[in-house]
Structure 1
């Protein structure tokens, strides 16, 4: 059995400090095997925000991995955004925007869906880059078969079931088919600040499916009708189950 705490959209500089402190204490008091952070660690990719995010991560007493979100590249310096978009991430968080965690039971691989933006700077919803997807699929082919395969990315691949018109990541449907064929059975994502899960049917056969699990915002004050939340995922006997934990203003429930 493996336990993963999936947190997302911390947005340091727009953080509920009580929720953040209590979350860190809870994650350490009841430790998972891995904390997976699906992006937007900062609000505006400022250095002080990255320092605060890194201090939070350094406070974790368990292994962690993180992928960037669209808020983790600067919106203020066009030269930096287009020519060194992840320089601050690499300096403060880690040298890899697509990290991996692997043991005998799980394989968790990051996919960077952040777009620098084109001529009109429409970057918010992100996209799955062809090169990044091919790189991930090659990594999957090199890994031993058997462990439960999980991909973590910032942007949602499927819309909430009750809001089917919600924008999702570019090239997401094609990516899900390729990931499923590569043996991935769970995708962890964030960005929307609401939690839900949706199932991508690979075939009509029972049990042959890929689930997209969305996390709400763990610590941000920028809420969208849902309290701060995170997911605890349990992988056992080739299946994943999960529980959402919410902040009620006093404690995590």
Structure 2
């Protein structure tokens, strides 16, 4: 089977994201021996060059291929010229900035989608969205992906837990969800909300996996990351939690794939 490590929302530049915290997280991720590292954005606090340098050094030291997509904190909040005319300039120095990218592993294609937007007509510029152009790029990539089994990585969740339903979903989420259903995408891996959630929708919808920040307790008050294992049609999320100064095992959610490609009920643990 495959093992995917999903440490996200690292927010390098925040006081909590210091060298000791990063080293403890890196040790825990490496101990899981992942086949790939998935990061769904917010590598930085304010998209400063030094923050990106720290983030890339961290990711590069984990010892596995990396697929990372930007989060809303990864474009400059104050330099408006850069925000509007070249918002991913600093990201590009270390990581691919393609709006859609693919990491093909044996038996699964992992598709990264950039859902960050420079601005909105409303005041919550952090909410994200997907333009018609990005949807077209995503459709093409999904239809020509290397493997039938497919996961999507994007910063913004496409479904929110009940306690956070007041938060705006990314613009054009309904159209994006239609495409994911049509193309049989199994799960969406996201961050942004700083909570741990595995959300099931109607039959045919992808599972929404939301992973908290690996280094910042802001929001939920907890740090965490997810280890995802794919084995024999089973999709299992192993939550890792930071408690009392050490990383420890959290909840395990296991879901099975039915012959029709839909996700069956949670397996007893």
TM-score between the two structures when normalised by the length of structure 2: 0.86
Pairing 1:243–2:235 present = no
Instruction: Give the conservation status (yes or no) of the 8 Å contact 1:90–1:97.
Output: no
Instruction: Give the conservation status (yes or no) of the 8 Å contact 1:39–1:154.
Output: yes
Could you say if the C-alpha distance between residues 131 and 60 of structure 1 is closer, same or farther in structure 2, counting changes exceeding 3 Å? Answer: same
Instruction: Give the conservation status (yes or no) of the 8 Å contact 1:90–1:96.
Output: no
Match of 2:137 among 119, 135, 138: 135
Partner deviation per Cα, 1:113-162 (whole Å, 9 max, x = no partner): 0001046664211112221121111111112453x200000011111134
Unmatched tracts of structure 2, length 5 or more: 249-269
* More contact order relative to length (CA 8 Å, sep ≥ 6): 1
SS in 2 for 1:92: coil
Q: CA RMSD in A?
A: 1.7
Partner deviation per Cα, 1:59-110 (whole Å, 9 max, x = no partner): 1111111000000000111111111011110012335353321023110011
SS in 2 for 1:45: coil
5 Å-filtered alignment, 1:1-253, equals 1-14=1-14, 15-17=16-18, 18-118=20-120, 122-144=124-146, 146=148, 148-202=149-203, 208-221=204-217, 223-253=218-248
Separation in structure 2 between the aligned mates of residue 74 and residue 186 of structure 1, nearest angstrom: 29
Separation in structure 1 between the aligned mates of residue 246 and residue 99 of structure 2, nearest angstrom: 32
Instruction: Give the conservation status (yes or no) of the 8 Å contact 2:21–2:215.
Output: yes
Per the TM alignment, residue 169 of structure 1 is displaced from its structure 2 partner at its CA by 1.5
SS in 1 for 2:76: coil
